[in-house]
Structure 1
């Protein structure tokens, strides 16, 4: 069986992204390697052993392909990635209290309740909670 092991999201600054995804969103660092020349290889994942085989790679978003792609997705208002949460309204309140800016507050969207936040490093991120 094929399973997702890692997926990436392009970010404007890997160090700032790492801080946001761990300190604000609550992910834990899985890998942090200095590859030299100012290049970092950083992955994060769900805390506490949840989804141990799944990692999010924080990829440098500069360059002739990544930067225009990231900007176009952001300007179109499309989330770069979707994270599941048990209670989207509670996460919305928690993150707002930490100063996180949301593109839209929790609202029903088909089979989920979703909110979209700005990750401060060039992406919109959707939080989704399945409706019963």
Structure 2
């Protein structure tokens, strides 16, 4: 069986503000933005060299979905953005206004710093150590 994880749905407040954040601040590419009618869109963003998973942005419509915006990880880091050069990317992302919650640190698994996206979801910027 040949399978892979393709997309993770991320609840957002507004398609356009989310696209702007993920493309302008994180430097992701807009892989798809298709009008599906009725105010619904198929919006996919991904890191520019992504061979793996991408984000499917879903504009929250119901009250329950709106409450979930920014809380999908229940306050924990739940998305991990890998880089091949942490010390190159960290200052670039800071200069674009990305809000880091801590100073960078080195762990047994790699160089890492936690940041928040525009809705408060927590992410790791992580350069994994080889091996």
- Name the TM tier (shorter chain): 0.7 to 0.9
The answer (yes or no) to whether the contact 1:73–1:79 under 8 Å persists in 2 is: no
Render the CA deviation track for 1:15-74: whole Å, top value 9, x for unaligned.
Answer: 1111111122111111101223332220012325x41x6432112245344344444456
* Counterpart Cα distance in 2 of 1:71 and 1:6: 18
Distance 2:98 2:32 in 1: 25
1:92 is aligned to 90
**Which secondary structure state, in structure 1, belongs to the residue aligned with residue 84 of structure 2?**
coil
Q: 1:66 to 1:113 in 2, by over 3 A?
A: farther
- Cα 1:55–1:33 change in 2 (3 A) is same
Q: Give the unaligned 5+ runs of structure 2.
A: none
Contact 1:92 1:105 in 2 (8 A): no
Aligned residues: 129
**Root mean square deviation of aligned Cα:** 2.4
TM-score, with length taken from structure 2: 0.80
TM-score normalised to structure 1 length: 0.79
